[in-house]
Chain A
C-alpha cells in the first residue's frame, strides 16, 4: 500500500508548499501516482500555483461531507508529468470559505479527522495511489494536527532561526511523539556558507539531529533563483538539473527509508 506524507512546520514561510509540489512532481516523474492536497485552509495556495481558478468541489466540501474525495481531485497528469499521474485537491481560496473554516466547532473537527483518516482507504486502496502529500498549515491548529494524525510519515520543515528551532523541538516532543509518528527533519533555506564543506555539513547535521532527536532527511541551502521565479513554475519539471531538485530527489528516496 502507498503512503500518506504530511509536510508540516512550526512557522509559516519555511517552504512547505514548494517542497510538497516538487516532491509530488518528482514521484510522478518516477512513474508513481500522486495526489497533492492543499490542507492549508487559512492560506490556500495550490490553486494559484497550478492555475486552477475554479473547482466544482473543493477539499472544504469533502470535509463538510458534501462530496466524495474523488470529486475534488483535478487530474493534471497531461500537463505536469510525462510518466506517472498527478492529482491535486484544492482548498477554497475565497475569503468566505476561509472565514467559514476558521469557525468550525470541535464536533466538526472530529468528523473532519474521520474523513481524513478514511483517505487511506479511498485514495491508497481504492484509487491505488502511491503517495498522498498533505500540504498543511503551520503550527498547532486543528487542520494541521488532523493531517498529522491521518498521515503515515511527517516531514517537518524548519528554518535556522532560533524561534523556529525551539518551536519545532516543542512540536516534536508534544505532538509527533505523542501520536507515535514516523518523522523526518528537513532544514530548509540553510545559509550556503555553513554547508560549504563536507565536515561542516556533517557537524551541523550531527548538532541538529542531537537537538531534535530526529533523523535528518536533508539540509537544503537557500537558493535565491527559486525566489526569483515567484512561484510561477514547477521547478522539478522546468529545471530538473537544478541542485534544489537534485537535493529533493534524495529526499524522495530517503522518505522510503523512514
Chain B
C-alpha cells in the first residue's frame, strides 16, 4: 500500500517560508563568519565613506576588491553570478558581498527568492530598472 502523494498547499507555503528563512539566516551567518575572520567591526551607522570609486577599490583588501570590481562590471548580480566570474565558491562570494553591504559600498535587494547586489550610482535607483538618463 502506497501513501497518498498529494501535498497540502498550506504545507508547501509553510515549507517555502521555512526555506527562505533558513537562506536568510545562512547569509547572516556567512557575514558574521567573514567579519570575525577578518577582525573587522562594521557598522552602517558609522560615517564610513560609502562611495565605491577606484580609490576605495584600491584601499580594499584583495579578496573584497575582486568581488567589488566584478560587481561593478556586472552592474547588478546575485552571489552566484559573481562566483561564476571570480571562480570562487558561491558561499564565499555571498559572504564578501554582504560584508561590502555592511561597509556601505554595496546595496542589496531581495526579488522573489533571489538576493541582488548592486552599486548605487544614481539617487533612489531601482536596481530592477537600472537605466542611464538617456534611456527611455
Contact = CB atoms under 8 A, between A and B. Distances in A.
Specify whether A and B are partners.
yes
A111 interface: yes
A181 to B, nearest CB: 10
Contacts of B73: 117, 120
Contacts of A66: 133-134
A63 to B, nearest CB: 11
B54 interface: yes
Given A67-B134, A68-B132, A178-B62, A113 B51 contact: no
Given A65-B134, A117-B73, A107 B62 contact: no
A179 B73 CA distance: 12
A98 to B, nearest CB: 20
Interface in B15-44: none
Interface in B87-136: 119, 121-122, 132-135
Contacts of B132: 65, 68, 115, 118
Interface in B43-69: 49, 51-55, 57-58, 62, 65-66, 69
Contact of A178 (B49, B52, B65, B121): B65
Nearest to A150: B73
A7 interface: no
B133 A65 contact: yes
Interface stretch (A35-43, A83-91, A141-149, A211-219): A141-149
Contacts, number: 58
- Interface range, A side: 20 to 34
Contacts of A195: none
A249 interface: no
B87 to A, nearest CB: 12
A72 B42 CA distance: 42
A106 interface: yes
B134 A114 contact: no
Contacts of A208: none
Contact of A179 (B69, B75, B134): B69
Contact of B72 (A117, A142, A145, A175): A117
